[in-house]
Amino acid sequence: MKITAAVVAERCGPFELRELELEAPRDDEVLVRVAASGICHTDLICRDQWIPVPLPAVLGHEGAGVVEAVGSAVTKVRPGDHVGMSYMSCGSCANCLTGKPMYCLSFGHVNFGCTRADGSNAVLCPGEAVHGHFFGQSSFATHAIAHERNVVRLPPDLPLELAAPLGCGVQTGAGGVLNALRPEPGSSLVVFGCGTVGLSAVMAARAAGCTTIVGVDPRPARLELALELGATQILAPADGDVVAEIQALTGFGANYTLETSGVPAVLRQAVDSLRLTGVCGVIGAPAFGTDVALDVNGILQGRTVRGIVEGDSIPDLFVPAMIDLYRQGRFPFDRLVELYDFDQIQQAASDSEEGSVVKPVVRMPRAA
């Protein structure tokens, strides 16, 4: 079938709308008519090859839409269902089989390889190899082929343009708090970076009962929004020594910190801001090969630094939980979303990079 997709042809290149062909779903696959897709930091750093992916490629990994067809072996969803799409996993490695698909031993290949597991591709372009299957979906397109494992059934009354960012950015921040760090009621959490991931973490910390929630970001508008969404204090790096300020606010340092910026110097601050036995969760993704320097003696005093992928989330379980919190008014992630038409995707990406919007979501044209 013919589809329209946003293609990145070269490193740091623009998103260009092209007409492509898409194969029918295989036995274990799902054809989704994409209604909306969030633009995530990971899309942009893959476009720029911080994380190398094969180009030209159709990116996009926060898709939501309506199932149009399913393969013969699919039982999870059926045509007409509303679904969100999230990360892909192999389903058969030791980590997948023990309930940790976000740490799938084939995570790099099945999410960043831009092919099916067998090396084939459902996205076709005569005369040129264009890669699909980014995060098992490539949702910057009017239609996407996903796998039964990485689709999540959604309630039909939830707007699909709101559901889209639940598949990665929002679940990464919220899950980083609720699934990975699991702060105790009354504990303190400092979030470094108040973008989609960081602000989702702020909202989750409030839902979890943290009583000291500090947002750190250089942008005044982001800090103001953090206060509105649950932060009890805010700090701008330009205003002074962030670590000293956090120590003063919390007494002995924070119980938990979450680093979402991907800047090594900020990660050092996040670790140094911990109290003894505190835990720093690392989410921000810099370019491959980036090193960070930490004080070994500080780590020896019981502090923990741990990486977090996709918020330690199993999407089939965590996406419905976030939707329930949203409906209860306890997780207003809709405050982060700014909508764009699909043909404005390049502008949406630019606005995201400039920081003028938190979570851009592109809406695909409605089916005739």
Per-residue pLDDT of the chain (368 residues; tens, 9 = 90+): 999 999 999 999 999 999 999 999 999 999 999 999 999 999 999 999 999 999 999 999 999 999 999 999 999 999 999 999 999 999 999 999 999 999 999 999 999 999 998 999 999 988 889 999 999 999 999 999 999 999 999 999 999 999 999 999 999 999 999 999 999 999 999 999 999 999 999 999 999 999 999 999 999 999 999 999 999 999 999 989 999 999 999 999 999 999 999 999 999 999 999 999 999 999 999 988 999 999 999 999 999 999 999 999 999 999 999 999 999 999 999 999 999 999 999 999 999 999 999 999 999 998 65
Q: Round to whole Å and give the CA distance between 113 and 231.
A: 38
Main-chain phi, psi angles of 38, to 5 degrees: -75, 150
Nearest CA to 54 out of 132, 171, 158, 123 is that of 132
* CB neighbour burial string for 71-87, b if at least 16 within 10 angstroms, e if fewer: beebebbeeebbbbbbb
| Domains located in the chain, CATH noted | 2-167+332-363 (3.90.180.10), 173-308 (3.40.50.720)
Q: Round to whole Å and give the CA distance between 58 and 120.
A: 15
Q: Round to whole Å and give the CA distance between 141 and 62.
A: 11
287: tokens are 């370019």
Provide the pairing of β-strand 233-235 with 82-85: unpaired
Q: Residues 337, 285, 167, 132: what is their CA dihedral angle, to the nearest 10 degrees?
A: 110
| pTM as predicted | 0.96
Alpha carbon of 2 to those of 9, 141, 336, 367: distances in Å? 19, 11, 33, 13
